[in-house]
Amino acid sequence: MDIRNIAIIAHVDHGKTTLVDNILKSSKIFRENQESGDLIMDSNDLERERGITIFSKNAAVTYKDVKINVIDTPGHADFGGEVERVLKMADGVILLVDAFEGPMPQTRFVLQKALGLNLKPIVVINKVDKDNCRPDEVHDAVFELFFNLDATEEQLEFPTFYGSGKQGWFNDSLTPTDNIEPLMEGILKYVPAPKVSEGTLQLQVTSLDYSSFLGRIAIGKVTRGSIKENQPFSLVQADGTIKKQRVKELYVFEGMGKRKVTEVLAGDLCAVVGVEGFNIGDTIADFENPEALPIISVDEPTMNMMFSINNSPFFGKDGKFVTSRHLRDRLIKETEKNLALRVRDTDSADSFLVYGRGILHLGVLIETMRREGYELTVGQPQVLVKEIDGKKCEPYEILVIDVPEEFASKAIDLVSRRKGEMILMETKGEMQHIEFEIPSRGLIGLRTNMLTATAGEAVMAHRFSEYKPWKGSIPGRNNGVLLSKEAGETTGYSLDKLQDRGFFYVDPGEAVYAGMIIGENNKPGDLVVNPNEGKKLTNHRASGSDAATSIAPKTLMTLEECMEYIQHDECIEVTPNFIRMRKVVLDENERNKLAKQMKAQDA
């Protein structure tokens, strides 16, 4: 059977998953009366809630007797590791670009990886139905991007399609049609059939699936030979060890699901059941003469966080998995499929250092764990510092901000305070497009401040650039926090009296404990307050003092906002139903002692 393997790559929110929806609907894999919904491939709860793709997924459609394997990839820079490994399965890529925004940081990152693997690109300029779109300028910008990334002559002659995923049409000109057939024809015409070399079986595991019935399932592309049901094979691992095993079942992708088969030939993607103890990057090879494929290399993590057991007074009240053994097993299991993640043991048996690509990457892991019933404490995110040529170096990122003109000066001021340097500023329609080079540390906590300063209008994106010399100290949070003095339930009476001190993260009637952060102070420096005090009930009434209390509702913080908010002496308690911020040392006297010791050491 004729096959095409294609990955869809783009910056976040440029319409990858909507394009996959259109491909699935155009190939009639749903019945006429079947309700398919939108963003069909974003099946995970977290993906649907956030409206982003986190995990890459496979689907397969048949068009004019040609099987097209489609790989949907994430667009966030934090999930770049996910994109890097699945590109190994593709022979061509559809580079999707927004007709207004043009190429963005993540577009550059994933395109560079695709061109490096010599994949054939097709450029699709999406959202041409939007007001103030500029498809011709964007086409020129994409060509310039290809040129800057040292694309070959052949890659520079990329075909371009225009259209609107929302309206369900794509064409090789700006003339609207009523379907996406021109694009499907383009895939058949421009994407090469898989290159198949002669020889014995080779299949690199580039992804994995899990089934409660079948266990872990290895997914990859058969690059050489063929694989059959019940066939013995050798599993060649990264360190060179070879395990002899046997295939139990074989599946190929069909529509949104999988179909069981007895043999898969070179060039097709398949799922293999019965492979034990494999990792992503291992090679399933011939039983007699195993030959390994090159190991998948993934960029290094740039950030780490301390994960510990929950040791707050509310330990064990909410979660199902609370011990360090539970925590360690879950983190090790995550590293099997999350290639950009690393886990290291620390001096304490209860704490582990987890390395990741960014706040969102680690935040999604924590959010997934709390939904599974885990209780844990996480510390402030830290960037990874390296020594290069005897100099202390830290990771830098290219930060791109699109902001209305009247807020441009505020955006530049905010980034400059965090040691960012402006490298480009240009006008895009009604927006100012500004690019900075900024230490990764400077990005922590920047998004919230930026959205506040620009009335929510700023669009930010960033990608890792390189390690450069340390830039000195970067100012953190300006204000201190309000801390609870003792355990108990907050009262409306007490919170009402404290409102002039700051704003709160708790409502009346919530359980708190000593050392827990219950609000933000209006001034620098932390303040210990008593939010649990009730009104003294005497038989004397002061006139007018019994008026109803009017308390501002609590400020809600997402997990990522909490991660960006906390300082080095604070941490976040995460349980299935609560996210609480607290001091690492809960006792006020102990905290003061430690602070004095630290001052003495500095002096």
| Nearest C-alpha neighbor of 97 from the set 106, 88, 84 | 106
Judged by DSSP in three states, 207 sits in strand
Other C-beta atoms closer than 10 Å to the C-beta of 302 total: 21
Is 53 within 8 Å of 72 (Cβ atoms)?
Answer: yes
| Nearest C-alpha neighbor of 83 from the set 296, 372, 261, 243 | 296
Q: Is 442 annotated as a binding residue?
A: no
Kindly give the pairing relationship between strand 351-356 and strand 342-345.
antiparallel
Q: Is 448 annotated as a binding residue?
A: no
Length of the chain: 603
CA 571 to chain centre: 21
Q: Is 17 annotated as a binding residue?
A: yes
H or E segment and range at residue 368: helix 359-371
Residue type, 304: N
Other C-beta atoms closer than 10 Å to the C-beta of 127 total: 24
Query: For the range 587-596, what are the long-range contacts, defined as Cβ-Cβ under 8 Å and sequence gap of 24 or more?
Result: 587/514, 587/515, 588/483, 588/485, 588/514, 588/515, 588/528, 591/515
H or E segment and range at residue 24: helix 16-26
Q: Is 319 annotated as a binding residue?
A: no
Tokens of 233: 């094979």
Q: Is 14 annotated as a binding residue?
A: yes
Tokens of 165: 């995923």
Q: Is 535 annotated as a binding residue?
A: no
Residue type, 147: F
Kindly give the pairing relationship between strand 2-10 and strand 66-72.
parallel
Torsion region of 180: left, alpha or beta (phi above 0 gives left; psi -120 to 50 gives alpha): alpha
Query: Phi, psi at residue 3, to the nearest 5°?
Result: -130, 145
| Nearest C-alpha neighbor of 330 from the set 349, 312, 314, 307 | 307
| C-alpha distance across the termini of the chain, in Å | 75
Distance in angstroms (rounded) separating the CA atoms of residues 203 and 286? 10
Q: Is 128 annotated as a binding residue?
A: yes
Residue partners of 482: CB distance under 8 A and separation at least 6: 498, 501, 502, 504, 517, 518, 519, 520, 521, 526, 527, 529
| Nearest C-alpha neighbor of 551 from the set 493, 481, 600 | 493
* DSSP 8-state secondary structure symbol assigned to residue 255: B
Is 408 within 8 Å of 422 (Cβ atoms)?
Answer: no
| Nearest C-alpha neighbor of 223 from the set 206, 238, 239 | 206
Judged by DSSP in three states, 563 sits in helix
Q: Is 129 annotated as a binding residue?
A: yes
Torsion region of 6: left, alpha or beta (phi above 0 gives left; psi -120 to 50 gives alpha): beta
Extract the annotated binding site: 13-18, 126-129
Binding residues for GTP: 13-18, 126-129
